[in-house]
């Protein structure tokens, strides 16, 4: 048996909805203003990403800076000019020395004997010269009745030979004296003794290096820049360098740029043919070019040590960012950017 429908039904309102029904909770379509706001936010994020990418590109790719910097220095390799046993060592390892300071002393006895012997030889030659000159002068005063012209010439020649012997004796004496002075081996530069392994009693051989002195007046920095950055580096540009272990910046100037680096492909093979290495056509690694940087100002408390690594940046701070912005404007405006 069929049931009757409910007697009471909710009356429909003017909008077609029942007055007694629950409120509609379905999501409504976003309005036009909200959609525009989302587009603006998306565009702003894209613009910020573009600016960030451009700054990163400018900083890492085009700006003339490098982390591959090295502190360099000249080292004086000291070798004795005479041979002998070392009797006295007047310096210690890592000791600061001035130009002309005595580093060590070689036994001077043999050289003192040489000076005495050379002096005696010179006295002998000078006495012999005096006798020869007197004889030549006496023969020259005689007439041809007492002596012949040939005899006069012989005595004059003997005097000349004696003069040459005196000159030779003087040279030998000078050599003996300078050798005696060379027994005191001196520092050729202002600097610091390094890696000293010398000890009294060691034998010093002529021309064999046995002590090294770092020339503290010759420090410089070599910056190895990628070739893509060389167009923005010029001789005379200001440089700032930050050592790995120090915060203060070292100020300097670009002194010179190397005009050649080694090329592996220029090496001939065993058969004399060119040895060409294969490369990837879609990847090209930029070569690094050494740039010599003269150090102008070293901050207080910074100790330069040869071999230290440094981050080197060429140009005044912010100059390359301004150049990059000017280049970006010129691309859109079509105007040329003046080159430095």
Token digits of residue 62: 């085009």
**Backbone torsion region of residue 189, taken as left when φ is above 0, otherwise alpha when ψ lies between -120 and 50, otherwise beta:** beta
Between 196 and 20, where is the model more confident? 196
Secondary-structure breakdown of the chain: helix, strand, coil percentages, each rounded to the nearest 5 = 35, 25, 40
The answer to the question of residue 233 being in a domain is yes
Q: Is 247 found in the same domain as 192?
A: no
pLDDT digits (tens, 9 = 90+) for 64-86: 889 999 999 999 999 999 999 99
The mean of the pLDDT values for the chain is 82
Token digits of residue 160: 């000349």
Collapsing DSSP to helix, strand or coil, 243 comes out as: strand
The answer to the question of residue 40 being in a domain is no
Q: Is 96 found in the same domain as 126?
A: no
pLDDT of residue 159: 81
| Alpha carbons 269 and 251: distance in angstroms, whole number | 45
pLDDT of residue 10: 47
Name the pLDDT band for 9 (thresholds 50, 70, 90).
very low
Collapsing DSSP to helix, strand or coil, 117 comes out as: helix
pLDDT of residue 266: 74
Q: Is 203 found in the same domain as 248?
A: no
pLDDT of residue 50: 83
* CB neighbour class for 211 (10 Å; exposed up to 12, middle 13-18, buried from 19): buried
* pLDDT greater than 80 at residue 12: no
| Alpha carbons 222 and 4: distance in angstroms, whole number | 102
* pLDDT greater than 70 at residue 261: yes
* CB neighbour class for 18 (10 Å; exposed up to 12, middle 13-18, buried from 19): exposed
Domain of 147, CATH number, reads 1.10.287
Q: Is 303 found in the same domain as 247?
A: yes
Q: Is 118 found in the same domain as 177?
A: yes
The answer to the question of residue 263 being in a domain is yes
The answer to the question of residue 4 being in a domain is no
- Name 215's bridge partners: 191
Residue 7 backbone dihedrals phi, psi, to 5 degrees: -75, -35
Count how many domains the chain has. Answer: 3
Between 226 and 9, where is the model more confident? 226
The answer to the question of residue 196 being in a domain is yes
| Alpha carbons 321 and 317: distance in angstroms, whole number | 9
pLDDT of residue 47: 86
Mean pLDDT of 132-161: 71
Q: Give the domain-ending residue among 208, 223, 243.
A: 208
Strand segments, DSSP code E, in the chain are 65-72, 75-78, 84-89, 96-97, 102-106, 184-186, 191-194, 203-204, 211-215, 220-226, 238-243, 249-257, 288-297, 309-314
The answer to the question of residue 8 being in a domain is no
Domain of 95, CATH number, reads 2.40.50.100
Give residue 140's domain range. 108-182
The answer to the question of residue 269 being in a domain is yes
Between 102 and 261, where is the model more confident? 102
* pLDDT greater than 90 at residue 100: yes
pLDDT of residue 75: 96
Q: How many CA atoms lie within 13 A of 201 on its CB side?
A: 1
pLDDT of residue 333: 61
Angle 22-24-29 from CA coordinates, rounded to 5°: 175
Q: Give the domain-ending residue among 173, 208, 243.
A: 208
Nearest CA to 174 among 258, 115, 218? 115
| Alpha carbons 250 and 239: distance in angstroms, whole number | 8
* pLDDT greater than 80 at residue 151: no
Mean pLDDT of 161-185: 92
Q: Is 202 found in the same domain as 92?
A: yes
pLDDT digits (tens, 9 = 90+) for 26-77: 555 556 778 888 888 888 888 888 877 776 666 666 678 899 999 999 999 9
What is the chain's Cα-based Rg?
45
| Alpha carbons 154 and 31: distance in angstroms, whole number | 132
Q: Is 309 found in the same domain as 232?
A: yes
pLDDT of residue 1: 44
Collapsing DSSP to helix, strand or coil, 20 comes out as: coil
Q: Is 296 found in the same domain as 275?
A: yes
Q: Is 92 found in the same domain as 133?
A: no
pLDDT of residue 327: 58
Q: Is 322 found in the same domain as 230?
A: yes
Name the pLDDT band for 154 (thresholds 50, 70, 90).
confident
Domain of 286, CATH number, reads 2.40.30.170
| Alpha carbons 291 and 221: distance in angstroms, whole number | 8
The answer to the question of residue 240 being in a domain is yes
Q: Is 146 found in the same domain as 168?
A: yes
Q: Is 167 found in the same domain as 241?
A: no
| Alpha carbons 56 and 265: distance in angstroms, whole number | 34
DSSP state letter for 226:
E
Collapsing DSSP to helix, strand or coil, 94 comes out as: coil
| Alpha carbons 145 and 123: distance in angstroms, whole number | 36
pLDDT digits (tens, 9 = 90+) for 201-252: 999 999 999 999 999 999 999 999 998 889 889 999 999 999 998 999 999 9
CB 238 within 8 A of CB 251: yes
């Amino acid at each position: 048996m069929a049931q009757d429908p409910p007697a009471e039904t909710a009356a429909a309102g003017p909008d077609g909805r029942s007055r007694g029904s629950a409120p509609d909770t379905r999501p409504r379509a976003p309005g036009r203003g909200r959609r525009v706001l989302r587009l603006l936010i998306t565009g702003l994020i894209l613009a910020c990403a573009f600016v960030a990418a451009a700054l990163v590109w400018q900083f890492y790719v085009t700006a003339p800076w490098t982390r591959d910097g090295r502190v360099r220095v000249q080292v004086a390799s000291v070798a004795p000019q005479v041979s002998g046993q070392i009797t006295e060592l007047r310096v210690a390892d890592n000791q600061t020395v001035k130009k002309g300071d005595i580093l060590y002393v070689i036994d001077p006895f043999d050289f003192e004997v040489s000076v005495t012997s050379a002096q005696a030889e010179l006295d002998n030659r000078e006495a012999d010269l005096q006798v020869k000159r007197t004889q030549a002068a006496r023969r020259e005063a005689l007439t041809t009745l007492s002596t012949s012209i040939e005899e006069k010439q012989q005595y004059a020649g003997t005097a000349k030979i004696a003069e040459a012997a005196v000159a030779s004796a003087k040279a030998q004496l000078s050599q003996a004296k300078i050798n005696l002075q060379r027994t005191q081996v001196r520092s050729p530069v202002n600097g610091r003794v390094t890696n000293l392994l010398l000890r009294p009693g060691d034998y010093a051989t002529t021309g064999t290096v046995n002590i090294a002195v770092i020339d503290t007046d010759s420090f410089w920095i070599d910056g190895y820049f990628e070739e893509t950055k060389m167009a923005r580096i010029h001789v005379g540009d200001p440089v700032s360098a930050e050592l790995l272990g120090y915060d203060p910046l070292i100020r300097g100037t670009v002194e010179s740029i190397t005009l050649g680096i080694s090329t592996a492909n220029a090496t001939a093979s065993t058969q004399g043919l060119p040895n060409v290495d294969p490369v990837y056509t879609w990847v090209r690694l930029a070569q690094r070019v050494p740039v010599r940087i003269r150090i102008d100002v070293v901050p207080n408390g910074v100790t330069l040590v040869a071999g230290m690594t440094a981050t080197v940046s060429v140009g005044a701070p912010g100059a390359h960012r301004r150049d990059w912005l000017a280049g970006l404007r010129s691309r859109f405006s079509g105007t040329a950017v003046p080159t430095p």
